[in-house]
A and B are shown apart, each in its own frame.
Chain A
Amino acid sequence: MSNQETNKIQDHNVSDAAPAASLPRLGMAAPAFEAVTTHGKIRLEDFRGTWVVLFSHPADFTPVCTTEFLAFAGIAAELRQRNVELLGLSIDSPTSHIAWVRNIKDKFGIDIPFPIIADSNKDVATLYGMVSPGESKTETSRCVFVIDPNGIVRAMIYYPLTTGRNTDEIIRLIDALQTTDKHGVATPANWKPGEKVIVPPPTTMEDVEARLKAGFECTDWYFCKKAL
């Protein structure tokens, strides 16, 4: 069986027809898929109950992607402590992925602990709008999709082919999203864990009065922070 055949999207809720190009929306269900990976066939639904960072890279055996894989491998344990799993993807074959992972181990001494989707026929890349034809019609851009334990798309990041991503920002983003879920707050620019958070703006006059009495650090009625 060819890679294209084995990598075919087999979601039981979706027809076998090639998926239409699309872009997930924040707050909506992440598109379901089943794909061949370096850890065997995996469905998105297998991650239910954990956060997923689904990220694409342009191609195996390329220098920027290699630096990114080293960086993602470096944060994998930190992410797992946060109940987050990494899932890579590129439009390459399983054999290419395996050879590259082995090469990274050989040349850099680093194990790649997460699965990588071999999306040879672009099915998952198409579902997630990972190909930017203005840059390349045959490679995925450097996309990141943060999917929560309920399978909802919570954040998306797109970087061009030339520019490696910042994995510290991905951890910061996860921390911010999890803080929002746990405490019902928002997080300001450049927020890091331990810093004050934003109390969501009031929506009624009653809320405004209650807020002003609540002891928050308010610059104005709509701009209040608090420590957690």
Chain B
Amino acid sequence: MACIGPQGELTESARKMLTALESPSSPEDVASRTSLPLFRVRAGLRELAEGELVTMINSLYTPTDRGRSLLA
């Protein structure tokens, strides 16, 4: 998915996914809101979690403060 570019910026798909996390959401919810394939959303959310831009609680994803700041 490559969610974060070489300068630390969000890629277009990462921005789409973070924007879609207006409330704690499952990968299926995010896929539905972004029209991205589910496999890409799962891979992307995992990468965003590794980059500490989202957290996962009870299988639902939420942006971290850092993730929100990159969206601004």
Q: Which A residues lie at the B interface, using CB under 8 A? A: 39-43, 45-47, 49-50, 80, 85
Contacts and interface: CB of A to CB of B under 8 A. Distances in A.
A43 B42 CA distance: 9
Chain A contact residues, majority secondary structure: mixed
Contacts of B42: 43, 45-46
A47 B39 contact: yes
Q: Which of B1, B3, B39, B43 is most buried by chain A, counting CB atoms within 10 A of its CB? A: B39
Please classify how large the interface on chain B is, using the bins under 10, 10 to 19, 20 to 34, 35 or more.
Answer: 10 to 19
B66 to A, nearest CB: 20
Interface of B: 1-3, 37-40, 42-44, 46-47
A39 B40 contact: yes
A50 B44 contact: no
A46 to B, nearest CB: 4
B39 A46 contact: yes
Nearest to B40: A39
A11 to B, nearest CB: 13
A85 B2 CA distance: 19
A19 B3 CA distance: 29
A42 B43 contact: yes
6 contacts: A39-B2, A40-B47, A41-B1, A42-B1, A43-B42, A50-B37
User: What 6 A-B pairs come out closest when comparing CB atoms?
Assistant: A40-B1, A46-B39, A46-B42, A40-B2, A47-B39, A42-B43
